């Protein structure tokens, strides 16, 4: 069973002669433990597709399944999308978007706390993830005291905090240099394997693109599946 | 769950506390004004409360000496004291004067009273009661006079023998108690030039200076040199008598206006100082509106400054109530710190005001509740803006 599956998804803004068809019959899937790339130029419908996958906007038509559970189906949608986002989707953004007034530890622990886990349990889980991502020594620092690479690792830890089956990473290496980009991508790939998590990475990064074994290229609202080079990450 | 509001406040606490302190100064001004209103209301009745009288007999068709001119002859008190239900009746005279002391003029209200009768100073904080029939005075400490000071009122020099506290006129001027005889003299006293000119004017009047009536001119002159008038008669009732019944008897048979304590209080608080109270009340309303606008602006700016974080919080599954609670707690925090600073400001500034600033615990408590309400209302705009933020805005820029 796929971690995420999208069938014939359509998203149209407006109606009649002013209608804009942002996504046209897009079908895609990501398996558990797989890291898939999503490529596409500006205006190709990438953001709209991400927002549909992230369950923050409703598609006009089509069907999305997450971990076997239908969340959208031709106008019907799951009633509590907020809880779905909290528990089953992890988000990693281009600019990390950590909460600046929370410590690194609390930024990661926030998600389990929102899911009503006890503070102690949430912080224990957060510290485990920070250790895996090798930023545990910065646990009590504020995000502004971290380098870009460290911030992105913390963002990944936050995305993993509730052990979601699917992570959506929106250009996670954009602000990083080549070396750090590869480190972050290697971490994502490792986590996908270890936690059996499906990860979709939106990127323009030429260093990253050859590492995908499978990718989708989006152009004018239409997605094409391609086989990637699947180059290994350097040690 | 982490307290997001507290975490954010701790993160930039200097800016937050300085903002709240600025707000606190505004709250301090509002609290001081409330204290001024309370002080004025209390000062307005300080003198009548201190007389321990049950009824005030004043000139017919007037509201009494505290509100307007009222003149009675000093034998009226003897007539009144014979009425059923009247235990004691005494004359009082009031006039506002400039008192000379140590080269300075101090505005004060002179109160003439009869010893051991209603109208005498209620208690002394220092010194002794007036023992002589003339030329001694008891002053309120607000006047700045000290025991043994010689004070000059018109042409009369008095020695301060006692001090009271909290005895002020409805306008907040300190009261100087003197004997009735001194008060009548002071009220009537004229300077030497005026007396000389009046004598010349009378002697030049052929109707008053006739050859056939040798004593007439002297009689008229003497009558103008003495004063048998007072401003009110204070009445203390025999226990068991109803003030309204006795007042009605005096009105019907003696043709004077009579007020009970409650009526006199109403005249002073609801007529004499009402314009000043309204003036301050308007300022307080404007300050409350300005405070609300300022708090709303501060909270709105604080919220808009973290709108991206709010979008991320919503995206990762934070409930609306988490966001609302964060904004409200920060607004209340501003209010609480502002209230503490405001209270400290008002308490520090109160003694510096020329008029009494009466800061009551009850008013302070009500102000605290109003501040919390204003903070809650002021947060509404920011909460609305935060709730309108779409989690989608966190994705894809």
- Report chain A residues whose CB lies below 8 A from the CB of B8: 101
DSSP category for residue A15:
-
Q: Are B316 and A87 a contacting pair at CB < 8 A?
A: no
Q: Are B316 and A100 a contacting pair at CB < 8 A?
A: no
Helix (H, G, I), strand (E, B) or coil at B19: helix
Q: Which pLDDT score is estimated for A7? A: 93
A123 CA: distance to closest CA in chain B (Å): 11
Could you tell me the strand order of the sheet in which A4-13 lies?
Answer: A20-30, A4-13, A61-66, A69-73, A76-77
Instruction: Cite the DSSP H helix spans in B255-360.
Output: 261-267, 274-304, 307-315, 320-349
How many CA atoms lie less than 13 Å away from B203 in the CB half-sphere?
8
Cα distance between residue B128 and residue B142, in whole Å: 18
The answer to whether the beta carbons of residues B8 and B330 sit under 8 Å apart is yes
Q: Which pLDDT score is estimated for B74? A: 87
Q: Which pLDDT score is estimated for A231? A: 87
Mutation for testing the A interface, residue in B12, B16, B317 having most A CBs under 10 Å: B317
Listed residue (B173, B174, B178, B223) closest to B198, CA to CA: B223
Helix (H, G, I), strand (E, B) or coil at B338: helix
User: For residue A233, what are the contacts with CB-CB under 8 A and spacing of at least 6?
Assistant: A182, A185, A186, A189, A211
Q: Which pLDDT score is estimated for B193? A: 86
Listed residue (B69, B87, B67) closest to B77, CA to CA: B87
- The CA angle A54-A57-A59, to the nearest 5 degrees, is 100
Cα→Cα distances B373→B295, B362, B368, B377, Å: 11, 17, 9, 6
A105 CA: distance to closest CA in chain B (Å): 11
B382 CA: distance to closest CA in chain A (Å): 19
Listed residue (A4, A17, A7, A2) closest to A223, CA to CA: A7
The answer to whether the beta carbons of residues B170 and B68 sit under 8 Å apart is no
A106 CA: distance to closest CA in chain B (Å): 8
- Report chain A residues whose CB lies below 8 A from the CB of B394: 91, 93, 97
**A123-132: buried (b, 16+ CB within 10 Å) or exposed (e) per residue?**
bebbbebbeb
> Has residue A99 got a pLDDT over 60?
yes
Looking at the complex, does the CB of residue A222 fall below 8 Å from at least one CB of chain B?
no
DSSP run (H or E) holding A213 = none
Q: Which pLDDT score is estimated for B396? A: 65
- Report chain B residues whose CB lies below 8 A from the CB of A204: none
Helix (H, G, I), strand (E, B) or coil at B17: helix
Of A47, A83, A101, the CB nearest to B317: A83
> Has residue A165 got a pLDDT over 80?
yes
The answer to whether the beta carbons of residues B80 and B89 sit under 8 Å apart is yes
How many CA atoms lie less than 13 Å away from B241 in the CB half-sphere?
21
Q: Which of residues 312-331 of B touch A (CB under 8 A)?
A: 312-319, 322
Cα→Cα distances A11→A21, A72, A91, A216, B396, Å: 6, 12, 21, 18, 16
- What's the gap between Cα A129 and its chain centre? 17
pLDDT tens-digit profile of A206-230? Answer: 889 999 999 999 988 899 999 989 8
Cα distance between residue A52 and residue A74, in whole Å: 13
ipTM for the complex shown: 0.88
Mutation for testing the A interface, residue in B9, B15, B303, B391 having most A CBs under 10 Å: B391
How high is the mean pLDDT in each 10-residue block of chain B (397 residues)? 90 93 93 92 89 92 89 90 93 91 87 92 93 94 93 90 93 92 85 83 84 82 78 94 93 90 92 89 91 90 91 91 94 95 95 90 94 93 93 77
> Has residue A112 got a pLDDT over 80?
yes
CA dihedral A212, A214, A219, A222 (to 10 degrees): -150
Q: By percentage, how much of chain A surpasses pLDDT 90?
A: 58
Cα distance between residue B266 and residue B103, in whole Å: 38
Cα→Cα distances A121→A131, A136, B3, B35, B109, Å: 15, 16, 16, 52, 74
Q: Which pLDDT score is estimated for A93? A: 85
- Report chain A residues whose CB lies below 8 A from the CB of B314: 82
* Beta bridge partners of residue A23, listed in sequence order: A11
Q: Which pLDDT score is estimated for B105? A: 86
Q: Which pLDDT score is estimated for A101? A: 93
Q: Tell me which chain B residue has its CA closest to the CA of residue A117.
A: B1
Q: Which pLDDT score is estimated for B143? A: 92
The answer to whether the beta carbons of residues A184 and A153 sit under 8 Å apart is yes
Q: Which pLDDT score is estimated for B155? A: 83
């Amino acid at each position: 069973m796929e971690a995420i599956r999208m069938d014939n998804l359509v998203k149209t803004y407006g109606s009649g002669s002013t209608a804009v068809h942002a996504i046209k019959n897009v079908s895609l899937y990501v398996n558990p433990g797989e890291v898939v790339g999503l490529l596409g130029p500006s205006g190709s419908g990438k953001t709209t597709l991400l927002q549909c996958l992230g369950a923050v906007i409703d598609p006009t038509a089509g069907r999305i399944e997450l971990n076997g559970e239908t969340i959208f189906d031709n106008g019907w949608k799951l009633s509590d999308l907020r809880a779905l986002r909290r528990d089953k989707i992890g988000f990693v953004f281009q600019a990390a978007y950590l909460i600046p007034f929370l410590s690194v530890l609390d930024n990661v622990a926030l998600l389990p706390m929102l899911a009503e886990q006890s503070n102690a349990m949430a912080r224990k889980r957060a510290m485990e993830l920070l250790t895996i991502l090798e930023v545990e020594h910065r646990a009590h620092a504020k995000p502004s005291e971290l380098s870009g690479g460290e911030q992105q690792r913390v963002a990944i830890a936050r995305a993993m905090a509730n052990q979601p089956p699917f992570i959506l990473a929106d250009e996670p290496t954009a602000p990083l240099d080549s070396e750090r980009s590869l480190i972050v991508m290697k971490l994502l790939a490792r986590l996908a394997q270890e936690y059996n998590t499906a990860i979709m990475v939106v990127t323009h990064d030429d260093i990253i693109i050859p590492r995908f074994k499978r990718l989708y290229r989006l152009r004018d609202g239409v997605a094409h599946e391609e086989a990637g080079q699947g180059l290994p990450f350097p040690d | 769950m982490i307290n997001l509001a507290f975490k954010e406040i701790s993160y930039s606490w200097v800016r937050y506390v300085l903002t709240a302190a600025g707000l606190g100064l505004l709250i301090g001004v509002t609290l001081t004004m409330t204290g001024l209103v309370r002080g004025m209301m209390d000062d307005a009745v300080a003198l009548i409360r201190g007389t321990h009288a049950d009824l005030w007999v004043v000139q017919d068709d007037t509201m009494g000496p505290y509100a307007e001119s009222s003149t009675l002859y000093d034998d009226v008190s003897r007539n009144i004291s014979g009425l059923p239900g009247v235990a004691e009746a005494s004359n009082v005279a009031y006039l506002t004067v400039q008192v000379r002391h140590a080269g300075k003029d101090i505005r004060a209200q002179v109160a003439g009273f009869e010893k051991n009768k209603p109208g005498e100073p209620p208690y002394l904080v220092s010194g002794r009661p007036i023992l002589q029939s003339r030329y001694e005075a008891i002053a309120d400490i607000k006047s700045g006079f000290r025991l043994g000071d010689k004070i000059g009122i018109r042409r009369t020099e008095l020695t301060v023998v006692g001090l009271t506290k909290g005895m002020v006129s409805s306008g907040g001027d300190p009261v100087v108690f003197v004997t009735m005889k001194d008060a009548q003299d002071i009220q009537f006293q004229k300077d030497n030039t005026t007396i000389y000119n009046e004598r010349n004017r009378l002697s030049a009047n052929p109707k008053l200076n006739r050859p056939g009536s040798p004593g007439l001119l002297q009689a008229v002159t003497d009558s103008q040199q003495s004063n048998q008038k007072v401003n009110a008669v204070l009445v203390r009732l025999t226990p068991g008598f109803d003030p309204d019944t006795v007042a009605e008897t005096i009105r019907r048979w003696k043709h004077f206006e009579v007020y009970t304590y409650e009526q006199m209080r109403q005249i002073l608080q609801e007529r004499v100082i009402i314009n000043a109270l309204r003036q301050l009340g308007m300022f307080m309303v404007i300050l409350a509106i300005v405070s609300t606008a300022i708090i709303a602006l501060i909270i709105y700016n604080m919220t808009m400054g973290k709108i991206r974080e709010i979008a991320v919080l919503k995206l990762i599954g934070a409930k609306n109530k988490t966001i609302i609670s964060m904004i409200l707690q920060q607004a209340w925090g501003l209010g609480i710190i502002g209230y503490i600073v405001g209270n400290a400001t008002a308490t520090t500034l109160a003694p510096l005001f020329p008029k009494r600033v009466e800061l009551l615990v009850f008013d302070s408590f009500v102000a605290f509740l109003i501040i919390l309400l204003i903070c809650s209302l002021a947060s509404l705009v920011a909460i609305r803006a935060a709730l309108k933020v779409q989690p989608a805005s966190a994705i894809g820029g």
